Structure 1
Amino acid sequence: MARLSPKSFDILLTEINRRVKENPIDRIGADLVVSRLNKRRSPSGDFLTRSEIEELLTDQFPDFNPKVIDQAARANRPPGALKKIFWGGAVLGGLGGVVWLVNLPLPMIRQPVARTAPLLLLPSYISMDYNYRQAIALVEQADQLVNRATAITDFELGSEKALQAQHHLDKLPVWFLGYYPKAYCNLLGCTWRFTFDEYQNARKLVGRMEAQIFQEQNAYQALQEAQQALQVATAQYNQAQSAADKETAIIVWQQAIDQLRPIPQATLSGKNARQQLTTAERDFQQQVGFVAGRLQGNTLIEAAQIFASKAANEAQNPPHSQLHWQQVIEHWDEAIKRLQQINQDNPSYLEAQTKLAQYRSNRRQIEQRLQDERDSVAAMDRARQLIVEWRQLTASSNPSFASLNNKISEVIYTLELVRPGTTVNAEAQELLQKARHTRSQL
């Protein structure tokens, strides 16, 4: 494991903090770089070279001050490192043609060379080193953006980073992952060891992030469609005039709300959809509950009006029999029963109470007409019985004036009990006239 001295670390950290203070948007990249530098402050291992320090910084800060890098490298460079670099360059320069040949992407050439003369594969190692570092850095960035996303733009940028990481992973020779380039690492220092498991884990992580990003993008699109549908539905509901239009708008509104439910809750859009679903359902219940109550109230009022109209029609053109008046009362009872079903919290409650008071008053009037009919019929029946008794009295021998007068007066009193507007009133008036005339002749 390569090592970074405290002095070199402090030099780099000071410059990083200065950049973040000037541009806070660099905070994510700064955290990644500081994390890398901390990992390389191990108490054992080779010192980092300038190029390695630069690689740790430039993927996040391409314009990092080269003078600061030089200063950190001087504070961290171990003795004798330059000799190793110059010696390696001389060897490679003398074997240019051979180096080009053995670095061809042919396993049959590279594998024997890796076992016997691994230094000849320095260009391949450099390429592997670069692509490995880039892949790891980009995977870290993509992981930060995807798993700590606060907006869809984070996923879009994470998708770009994941694609770039995949590009660098594709350039790593899978067949060569098991060979650790000792000579290269001795010259330049390595913080990595190519292994198949590490390579596979990186690929799996990128694959999972790509799947997650795809799911997030689909969820975001579904959320956008649901939000648009909600806006259209609420506008349609607010513009509806008739009850039928309201009912149609309510159906569309419910369908728009239902579009929020299938959005996966594990996604960022799913979490936003949960919050919007709660608000949408609350608004829907308030509005639709009001409309549903009014529709129900209006339906009951219309039903009551049907019975009231029938009762009013059948009460016209009196007199009517007791049975007829009883039927009229039953119609008023049905109308009143419909209005009594409208609860106090119903928007139509006040209208229903107004009609209820009117209908009860009408019913009492019909009850009085029914009672008048009953009393009049009873009085008429009694008068007929008294008339029979009068006739029997007059047919007897020598009836007294007092008995005749009392009987005819009782007949008149009973007939006068018959109320106007009843079915027996006409007959009663005719008999009353005759009875009064008879009494005057006594």
Structure 2
Amino acid sequence: MARLSPKSFDILLMEINRRVKENPIDQIGAEIVRSRLQKRRSQSGDFLRRSELEELLTDQFPDFNPKVIDKAARANRPPGAIKKLFWGGGVIGGLAGVVWLVNLPYPMIRQPVATTAPLLLLPSYISMDYNYRQAIALVEQADQLVNKATAMTDFELGAEKASQAQKLLDKLPVWFLGYYPKAYCNLFGCTWRFTFDEYQNTRKLVGRMEAQIFQEQNAYQALQQAQQALQIATAQYNEAESPADQQTAIIAWQQAIDQLRQIPQATLSGKNAQQQLTAANRDFQQQVGFVAGRLQGNTLIEAAQIFASKAANDAQNPPHNQLHWQQVIEHWNEAIKRLEQINPDNPSYLEAQTKLAEYRSNRRQIQQRLQDERDSVDAMERARRLIVEWRQLTISANPNFTSLNNKISDVIYTLELVRPGTTVNAEAQELLQKARHTRSQL
């Protein structure tokens, strides 16, 4: 006959499906248990005892409902077993009081019994075996979740498993660890050597995991705080209406980046923080670089405007001599030089180019004024020399009318080269009027 009856299988399967429906994370453990139960259905031999059913289930479901296990065990008993148990119960009932007494959790009772009649401590051995097996299974599950975590939920579940393991370890009779239950293990095949060192190592492992989980939880909280600070700082920066507000937001932004950098890199949150740190630094450099570029561009534009204003003021109320016009040009050169320092990738580049075109046009006008001043001064000097030559012709012994007329015409032509708005224009106009009158009298 099969070791697991269909009725018992259905009872267990119904409970497993219910657990999976309530908690999908148990799906993997459910598949393992289903496979075990199916295998027992196809095996021939003695019916599975309750302890064997429990062993099949509780390594994957430590908190499996014991009432369901009891129900499945009763459904899996061979015909006539209930009747045998009824008659045997009378005999066992007589010993129940004694067994209950010797299994009380008091060393003064258990130690003598462990030496003389260890089988009477069978309930203690069963409890110790069960708690130890479940503790080890939970420790392994917690270790798997903690050391191979991909999300904070893994650490939370690992913390739950570690807590359950710790509770089971607390139930173990530590004083009893030196009394290895040989008779029990010969009957039930213990797979462990329950020693104090083993117990201590298991407790240390749980302690290390709890410390690691605590560190991960702190790192996760730090990550969330840094992320929130980063979001607030970037929002403040985008909404800033003045340079002072932008500067305040930039400082908060940098502080949030520093918080990301301080999260321990050995933690899962620290690894996530490193990935976010790269993006945060990139965004910070782009945005702050934009602001820095605009500030630099604005500073250069303001400096250029100072020189341009000086040049415009000095150019007022002409005429001016050549040195004065040269100084005005130098002011325009300085203004243009500042604007030319603004690179094409600077946010202020277009504004700078607009002003640059204006300043260059103004400089060309002043350069023309300077050239007009130079030409007019040169023309005035030539006109003066021609006037001296004309006067010399007029006082000669036999003045030639043609020569006088040609010379005065040269004087008039040269004076007409003097441009308006120059320093010699007034003198030139006065001499030009006299020269024209003189030519009309010849």
TM-score by length of 1: 0.82
Separation in 2, partners of 1:329, 1:320: 13
Distance 1:20 1:366, change over 3 A: farther
Distance 1:99 1:174, change over 3 A: closer
Aligned to 2:72: 68
The 3-state SS of whatever aligns with 1:192 is coil
Shift of 1:440: 2.6
Separation in 1, partners of 2:48, 2:365: 109
Distance 1:234 1:409, change over 3 A: same
| Deviation readout 1:236-266 (Å, 9 max, x if unpaired) | 1122111221122122112212211222333
The 8 Å contact of residues 303 and 338 in structure 1, kept in 2 or not, is answered as yes
Separation in 2, partners of 1:145, 1:11: 35
Shift of 1:149: 4.1
The 8 Å contact of residues 54 and 69 in structure 1, kept in 2 or not, is answered as no
Aligned to 1:355: 355
Shift of 1:311: 0.9
| Deviation readout 1:367-416 (Å, 9 max, x if unpaired) | 11010001011111111222222233333322211222222221221111
The 3-state SS of whatever aligns with 2:427 is helix
User: After alignment, is 341-350 or 372-381 more displaced?
Assistant: 341-350
Distance 1:100 1:228, change over 3 A: closer
Report whether the alignment pairs 1:229 with 2:233: no
| Deviation readout 1:26-47 (Å, 9 max, x if unpaired) | 5554645776899999x9xx99
The 8 Å contact of residues 49 and 189 in structure 1, kept in 2 or not, is answered as no
Residue correspondence of structure 1 range 369-408 to structure 2 within 5 A: 369-408=369-408
Shift of 1:116: 4.5
Aligned to 1:440: 440
Match of 2:62 among 51, 59, 63: 59
Separation in 2, partners of 1:367, 1:260: 59
Higher relative contact order (CA 8 A, sep 6+): 1
Shift of 1:209: 1.0
Shift of 1:214: 0.6
Separation in 2, partners of 1:280, 1:271: 14
The 3-state SS of whatever aligns with 1:230 is helix
Residue correspondence of structure 1 range 156-305 to structure 2 within 5 A: 156-305=156-305
Separation in 2, partners of 1:6, 1:293: 83
Aligned to 1:104: 106
| Deviation readout 1:262-316 (Å, 9 max, x if unpaired) | 2233333223323433443343344333333333322222222111111111110
| Deviation readout 1:166-217 (Å, 9 max, x if unpaired) | 2332343445334320222345553433133432331122112101111111
The 8 Å contact of residues 5 and 75 in structure 2, kept in 1 or not, is answered as no
| Deviation readout 1:342-365 (Å, 9 max, x if unpaired) | 222333222222222111111111
User: After alignment, is 187-196 or 403-412 more displaced?
Assistant: 187-196
The 8 Å contact of residues 50 and 73 in structure 1, kept in 2 or not, is answered as no
The 8 Å contact of residues 219 and 264 in structure 2, kept in 1 or not, is answered as yes
Shift of 1:441: 2.9
Distance 1:239 1:276, change over 3 A: same
The 8 Å contact of residues 139 and 206 in structure 2, kept in 1 or not, is answered as yes
Separation in 1, partners of 2:187, 2:382: 138
Aligned to 1:368: 368
Aligned residue identity for 2:194: F
Distance 1:113 1:11, change over 3 A: same
Aligned to 2:336: 336
Aligned residue identity for 1:105: P
Separation in 1, partners of 2:191, 2:48: 9
The 8 Å contact of residues 315 and 325 in structure 2, kept in 1 or not, is answered as yes
Q: How many residues align?
A: 427
Shift of 1:320: 0.7
The 8 Å contact of residues 155 and 213 in structure 1, kept in 2 or not, is answered as yes
Separation in 2, partners of 1:148, 1:428: 99
Residue correspondence of structure 1 range 148-159 to structure 2 within 5 A: 148-159=148-159
User: After alignment, is 113-122 or 192-201 more displaced?
Assistant: 113-122
Q: Identity of counterpart residues, as a percentage?
A: 74
Structure 1: stretches of 5+ with no match in the other structure: none
Aligned residue identity for 2:106: L
Aligned to 1:325: 325
| Deviation readout 1:94-119 (Å, 9 max, x if unpaired) | 85598368x6235xx76665445433
The 8 Å contact of residues 13 and 34 in structure 1, kept in 2 or not, is answered as no
Structure 2: stretches of 5+ with no match in the other structure: none
The 8 Å contact of residues 13 and 34 in structure 2, kept in 1 or not, is answered as no
Residue correspondence of structure 1 range 412-431 to structure 2 within 5 A: 412-431=412-431
TM-score by length of 2: 0.82
Distance 1:66 1:168, change over 3 A: closer
Aligned residue identity for 1:376: S
Report whether the alignment pairs 1:125 with 2:125: yes
Aligned to 2:345: 345
User: After alignment, is 29-38 or 274-283 more displaced?
Assistant: 29-38
The 3-state SS of whatever aligns with 1:259 is helix
